[in-house]
Amino acid sequence: MTSGDNFHTADELQWFKEIFDTYYDSIRSYAWYKTGNTELADDIVQEVFLKLWQIRHKTNPDTIKSLLYTIATNLIKSHYRHLNVVYRFEKKKKESDEESGQMSADESIRTEEFQAELETALARMPESARITLMMNRLENLTYEEIAQRLGISIKAVEKRMSIALKFLREKIEYRI
């Protein structure tokens, strides 16, 4: 990078301001027309003028308008190419997830069997143990919170949880 790249003259700033004021609205409208998205159009027009500033020493004043539209068109195409890549990646990922889901039909059956065993065991479990277990595992309550809600001691909650977990271990043969 030369020292001239970091500095600009008042003439360059004036030239850029005139170009910006003259073409900003039309380039933004063009970008919006092509994308249908206001925020994207704003981003593109900002990038257009940034690129113009970067190549300001190489520009031909007679072709500025076409240069700005060319830059905008290329940025829009680049954006859509990027979206296409992302879309294809997401589609392949989804297809892969679905295929792996289909391949694990045995797992699905085992999960259903486990769910049925769990429901049966919960139905047969002593009510006090089942309520305590549900409050802890489904509502994510601490032993102290359960004790307060039920009006019992923390030791009683611990005992009920112990009974519930032992009951489940005995009644459910299959474990995931």
Regarding pTM above 0.75, the answer is no
- Listed residues 81, 100, 119: the one ending a domain: 100
Q: Do 90 and 128 have their domain in common?
A: no
pLDDT computed for residue 101 by the predictor = 57
How many of the other CB atoms lie within 10 Å of CB of 141? 17
Condensed to tens digits (0 to 9), the pLDDT of residues 142-170 reads 999 999 988 999 999 999 999 998 888 88
Of 132, 118, 116, 135, the closest CA to residue 164 belongs to 132
CATH of the domain at 148: 1.10.10.10
Give the span between the Cα atoms of 26 and 37, in whole angstroms. 15
- For residue 45, being part of any structural domain is answered with yes
Give the span between the Cα atoms of 110 and 155, in whole angstroms. 36
CATH of the domain at 13: 1.10.1740
- For residue 93, being part of any structural domain is answered with yes
Q: Do 72 and 136 have their domain in common?
A: no
Condensed to tens digits (0 to 9), the pLDDT of residues 20-46 reads 999 999 999 999 988 888 999 999 999
Condensed to tens digits (0 to 9), the pLDDT of residues 37-81 reads 899 999 999 999 999 999 998 999 899 999 999 999 999 998 888
- Listed residues 100, 129, 144: the one ending a domain: 100
